[in-house]
Amino acid sequence: MTGRPTLAVVGATGAVGAVMLQILSQHKDIWGEIRLVASPRSAGRKLAVRGEQVEVVALSEEAFDGVDIAMFDVPDEVSAQWAPIAAAKGVVVVDDSGTFRMDPGVPLVVPEVNPHAVRVRPRGIVAGPHCTTLSMIVALGALHAEFGLRELVVSSYQAVSGAGRAGVETLRAQLSLVAGTELGTSPGDLRRAVGDRTGPFPEPVALNVVPWAGEPREDGWSSEELALRDETRKILGLPRLPVAVTCVRVPVVTAHALTVHARFEDEITVDRAREILATAPGVVLYDNPLAGEFPTPADVVGTDPTWVGRVRRALDDPTALELFVCGDNLRKGAALNTAQIAELVAAEFS
């Protein structure tokens, strides 16, 4: 087929979908029709994309008629049901959910790291990684390409929008419940102030940190911790990479941060690591602590790159680096990566 491909955005009304519509309006316009799809609850709503108001249609088989590429920004179970239906109609699906990421028949793609993987898609589906993986993998991929990664130890500081609109609404509601109160003096005072308004989180997240993200898995792990390990291994092609990870939710609206201890094959120098990070596509090195310069979620929200600061050689291991990494979980962590994959696929249509 030649000409401009038709694109469907499935989940256009969600947290990721809203950012996707901005990105589609800002990036070079390579698309023919852009069709907006969501649940029947949203059918008939109008949303702006490329400066036009477009009516949302309900998800159905017919919604994929004439579509070449469909981005899926919907819950896992919706992707599980509908991505194969779209693929069976010849649509190339770019899925942002967790459903297909570890499927051996589905490539897991980060265009700055493994763009070649997009071409082999036996199920007609390409997946993008989880937002926490994506918030560090571009910087890590650049370092791995030169130094050869051997081990990772990661802690995340994850924003509430990683749990979708419900996460953001929960933090906002909790902040208004605690405003003006004197909390932080006795156990349980925050719990009492927030009551049952914990939304998708197991504990109050306003004025707190919660060492849990995702669903329970075996042996005390959370699904998001396992996702970070498994996805990093798949993207970098390192199936036995040792990864230790703890995922933590913090009261930030958008932009995930991670501390990373990365051990490489041989001794590394911080100067060379800085050069790599300063020139890697999609990475910004912002690292001058004496001048108060390091990335924080408040600085990087709404931006595209992976920001890296606090680059140090590990105190007790000359083969390891310590980094602080920060990125917008709704942009590179979700919508931007999906848009970049769709653009790679669209290039096949020209």
Ligand X SMILES: NC(=O)c1ccc[n+]([C@@H]2O[C@H](COP(=O)([O-])OP(=O)(O)OC[C@H]3O[C@@H](n4cnc5c(N)ncnc54)[C@H](OP(=O)(O)O)[C@@H]3O)[C@@H](O)[C@H]2O)c1
Q: Rounded CA gap, 167 and 200, in Å?
A: 6
Count, residues in the chain? 350
Q: Which helix (H) or strand (E) holds 7?
A: strand 7-10
> For residue 314, what are the β-bridge partners?
none
Residue whose CB is less far from ligand X, 13 or 208: 13
Which of the following is catalytic: 131, 144, 247, 326? 131
In this structure, what token pair is assigned to residue 133?
Answer: 């993986």
Q: Rounded CA gap, 87 and 263, in Å?
A: 40
- The helix/strand/coil state of 234 is helix
Instruction: Check if 256 is active-site.
Output: yes
- Minimum distance from residue 135 beta carbon to ligand X (Å): 9
Residue whose CB is less far from ligand X, 4 or 165: 165
67 belongs to the binding site for ligand X (CB under 6 A): no
| Helix extents (H) in the chain | 15-26, 76-88, 131-147, 164-178, 189-194, 223-236, 270-279, 297-300, 336-347
Residue whose CB is less far from ligand X, 141 or 327: 327
Strands 243-249 and 149-158: parallel
In this structure, what token pair is assigned to residue 331?
Answer: 């942009």
In this structure, what token pair is assigned to residue 214?
Answer: 């995702």
> What is the pattern of x (binds ligand X, CB under 6 A) and - over residues 257-276?
--------------------
Size of the site for ligand X (CB under 6 A): 30
Task: Using the rule CB under 6 A, give the single segment among 91-99, 216-224, 259-267, 286-294 that binds ligand X.
Answer: 91-99
287 belongs to the binding site for ligand X (CB under 6 A): no
Q: Rounded CA gap, 216 and 342, in Å?
A: 32
Residue whose CB is less far from ligand X, 311 or 341: 341
> For residue 126, what are the β-bridge partners?
94
Compute CA distances 335 → 183, 294, 303, 331, whole Å: 37, 25, 12, 5
Residue whose CB is less far from ligand X, 117 or 252: 252
Of 172, 23, 202, the C-alpha closest to 96 is 23
Residue whose CB is less far from ligand X, 17 or 282: 17
Which of the following is catalytic: 130, 144, 247, 256? 256
> What is the pattern of x (binds ligand X, CB under 6 A) and - over residues 158-187?
---xx-xx----------------------
**What one-letter code names the amino acid at 203?**
E
**What one-letter code names the amino acid at 169?**
E
User: Which residues neighbour 332 within 8 Å (Cβ) at sequence distance 6 or greater?
Assistant: 134, 135, 138, 282, 304, 305, 306
> What is the pattern of x (binds ligand X, CB under 6 A) and - over residues 103-132?
---------------------------xx-
15 belongs to the binding site for ligand X (CB under 6 A): yes
42 belongs to the binding site for ligand X (CB under 6 A): yes
In this structure, what token pair is assigned to residue 277?
Answer: 């990070």
- Minimum distance from residue 162 beta carbon to ligand X (Å): 4
Half-sphere exposure of 297 (CA within 13 A, CB side): 21
91 belongs to the binding site for ligand X (CB under 6 A): no
Q: Which residue in the set 11, 111, 199, 295 belongs to the binding site for ligand X (CB under 6 A)? A: 11
Instruction: Check if 27 is active-site.
Output: no
- Minimum distance from residue 245 beta carbon to ligand X (Å): 17
Q: Which residue in the set 36, 78, 93, 235 belongs to the binding site for ligand X (CB under 6 A)? A: 78
Q: Which residues are catalytic?
A: 131, 256
Which residues here bind ligand X, judged by CB under 6 A? 11-17, 38-39, 41-42, 59, 73-76, 78, 96-98, 130-131, 161-162, 164-165, 329-330, 333-334
